[in-house]
Amino acid sequence: MFLKNLSLTNYRNYESLSLSFDGQIQLFIGNNAQGKTNVLESIYVLALAKSHRTPRDKELIGWEADYAAIRSDVLRRYGSVRLELQLTAKGKRAKINGMEQQKLSAYVGALNVVMFAPEDLSIVKGAPAQRRRFIDMEIGQVSPTYLYYLSNYNKVLAQRNQLLKDLGMKKSNSLEMLAIWNTQLADLAVKLLRKRFEFIRKLETWAQEIHTGITDGRELLSLHYQNSSPVTEEMSAEQAVDQLLAAYEEVRDREIMRGSTMIGPHRDDFSLKMNNMDVQTYGSQGQQRTSALSIKLAEIELIKEEVGEYPVLLLDDVLSELDEHRQTLLLETIKDRVQTFVSTTGVEGLKHQVLQQASRFYVKEGKISGER
């Protein structure tokens, strides 16, 4: 997978930008708050139709502009694909080879990316919502049906929560309607859970191998899905739905009192353990950082396994956060295989041969000078 070019219109602090890429590594160099991260973010948004930095699309649109647009020609193993994404106050319009996609789930996956930024340590030590978002975004890249089920799940969940609130406030007494929402939610929840179980299992396989290499075999990393429901990976779909429906019945009175759904994928989490020690709670900063790096490198290999080619890698000001050993491991992993975009404030500490051969772009106040 290879981005041949990138065009931005009214995207954050870029009124108009057009870049071409021919090398494997692209270095964006400049002081903070100049627009380096905005370039990498735009590639992420082009791929996933949402930002890793903000849930509000209007923040991506330039000051006093009505819309923002991102375009790129992406070289895939089956040929070149033109991707276009337009952001407005009313929503998004996504096109593949000039054809507008009616659903974003049909668009996401045309370009696969892995983003690694300092805030990605939140995967290890952040709140459960951050890890759920990580799972949803990564599975969605390789499984459009997952995004479809997730969208429907969130719609049904909102309807069920509203009914629970109405029941609690005596605005409704329709337990029959609750039973209907239960059936729909359980069916969608099981579809999501089966995908999540599979994803965590595959991610663990890759992450364990990588982590063992980083630590010279001293540490064994394991991932554990933390389920708020009684559903297990071994259950058939029918058994899982039955278990969920029984669980909904068991907590029904408490849910009505709270006005929210207490069980399901929207409440789940996953944990990381190192030699059976919880990394989030007891791991040192170095161990947490190594775990995050292992997860990110595992993502690259997992996407390659799923789609048949490597994703584009986005390293947003992260190399300075890694010591020389971790830098070397990361750069040797991507060498000659993964097109990589790197943002950095300077190149003084980046001595690896891979970076010496990179194309360089200098960023200042939303302007990018010619590569040198």
DSSP 8-class letter at 311: P
Query: 197 and 167 share a domain?
Result: yes
pLDDT of res. 323: 76
> Does residue 194 sit in helix, strand or coil?
helix
Task: Report which of 202, 196, 201 is spatially closest to residue 303, judged by C-alpha positions.
Answer: 202
30 is in an annotated binding site: yes
Query: 209 and 137 share a domain?
Result: yes
Query: 290 and 321 share a domain?
Result: no
At which of 254, 273, 305 does a domain end? 305
Give me the CATH number covering residue 174.
1.20.1050.90
Tally of structural domains, the chain: 2
At which of 281, 305, 329 does a domain end? 305
- What range defines the domain where residue 142 resides? 121-305
Give me the CATH number covering residue 66.
3.40.50.300
Residue 10 · residue 61 · CB < 8 Å: yes
34 is in an annotated binding site: yes
Residues paired with 17 in a beta bridge: 8
At which of 251, 273, 305 does a domain end? 305
Query: 208 and 287 share a domain?
Result: yes
> Does residue 50 sit in helix, strand or coil?
coil
Query: 131 and 260 share a domain?
Result: yes
pLDDT of res. 370: 66
Query: 62 and 126 share a domain?
Result: no
| Segment holding 237, helix H or strand E | helix 237-250
Query: 191 and 134 share a domain?
Result: yes
Which two tokens mark 112?
């696969």
- Would you state the torsion angle of the CA atoms of residues 253, 255, 256, 259, taken in this order, to the nearest 10 degrees? 170
pLDDT of res. 372: 45
Query: 43 and 98 share a domain?
Result: yes
Query: 168 and 266 share a domain?
Result: yes
pLDDT of res. 350: 64
Per-residue pLDDT of the chain (372 residues; tens, 9 = 90+): 999 999 999 999 999 999 999 888 898 998 888 889 999 999 999 999 999 888 888 999 998 899 999 999 999 998 999 999 999 988 999 999 999 998 888 899 999 999 988 777 778 888 999 899 999 989 999 898 999 999 999 999 999 999 999 999 988 788 999 999 999 999 999 999 999 999 999 999 999 999 988 888 888 999 999 999 999 999 999 999 999 999 999 999 999 999 999 999 999 999 999 999 999 889 888 888 889 889 988 999 999 999 999 999 999 888 777 777 777 777 877 877 899 999 988 776 666 677 777 888 999 888 888 654
pLDDT of res. 31: 86
308 is in an annotated binding site: no
pLDDT of res. 371: 56
Query: 205 and 64 share a domain?
Result: no
Residues paired with 340 in a beta bridge: 25, 313
Residue 7 · residue 70 · CB < 8 Å: yes
Task: Report which of 315, 343, 318, 348 is spatially closest to residue 31, judged by C-alpha positions.
Answer: 343
Separation CA 372–CA 370 (nearest Å): 6
pLDDT of res. 290: 87
Query: 16 and 97 share a domain?
Result: yes
49: left (phi over 0), alpha (psi -120 to 50) or beta: left
Query: 210 and 317 share a domain?
Result: no
Which two tokens mark 338?
């993964």
33 is in an annotated binding site: yes
